[in-house]
Amino acid sequence: MNIKILVLIMIVLLVSVSCTRDELQNDNCDQLIDEPYNFPVKPGDPEWSNLETDEERFNAVQIPESILKCLTDEALLQTCIDYPLYFFFTASSDTDPSTGFEKFLVKKFNGLQELFERKNIETILLDRYIAEDMYSFVERYNIFRLEYFYMFLLRESVISEWKEGQVYDFIKHSLDKYDTIKKESPPYILRYSGVELIITYLMARVMLYHKFQPFVDYYNSMGFTNEALVPLDKRVEYARLFIKQ
């Protein structure tokens, strides 16, 4: 083999190994794990009934560090969606729905902490949000887990990284999801479930963060202190205006 070609192959291999190490963020990883973590103990298991406190339950569903850092972005995202204690996102009396998500999930689950530290996770989340069919998701899980998944996009660390085109795509597809729900006929699946509230709340937060001026002016003129206080019809009205401009 030509010596130059051999050297080139060796360089490519070294770069590939280096990139893999960077992606893994852990020198102890031999390879990426592309399957979601299977929580060994879950609600409904016999062992779960032996856990007496919330602290014990939260500790039981942490991801081992040796696995956490080796999960691919997609496997980690799916693991977080499958999180057994997801329902704690509702455990807050605050009008801002992100409060319970941050306080009872992000602060307590190392999977979500790791997820939001990953590079380019804002793009991966947006792509999954756009591609995920709401009805298929609810059929696999339930409505509350769909709302929990949508909470992933509430974080400033996510929406702050979106470029102009991504913001447009998010608003457009959110309106599509909203319109699909509103056009449902009995028996309703998502209509009146609260999913449309989360979707419109997301749109309001994104428009406010990315300074869509007509919405910012309206928000300030009304003296709102968080996006949850904006009437649903106004969230939709300004989102449609955003798409037209």
Structure token digits, residue 175: 């309106």
Structure token digits, residue 152: 């992933």
Whether residue 7 is predicted with pLDDT greater than 60 in this model: the reply is: no
- DSSP codes joined into one string, 151-196: GGGG-HHHHTT--HHHHHHHHHHHHHHHHHHHT--SSPSSTTTTHH
Local confidence band at 2 (pLDDT 50, 70, 90 cut-offs): low
Section 190-210 average pLDDT: 96
- The answer to whether 243 and 171 have CB atoms below 8 angstroms apart is yes
Task: Give the whole-angstrom CA distance, residue 78 versus residue 82.
Answer: 6
Quick: pLDDT tens for 163-179: 999 999 999 999 999 99
Cα 49 to Cα 52, 62, 119, 166: the distances in Å are 7, 17, 38, 44
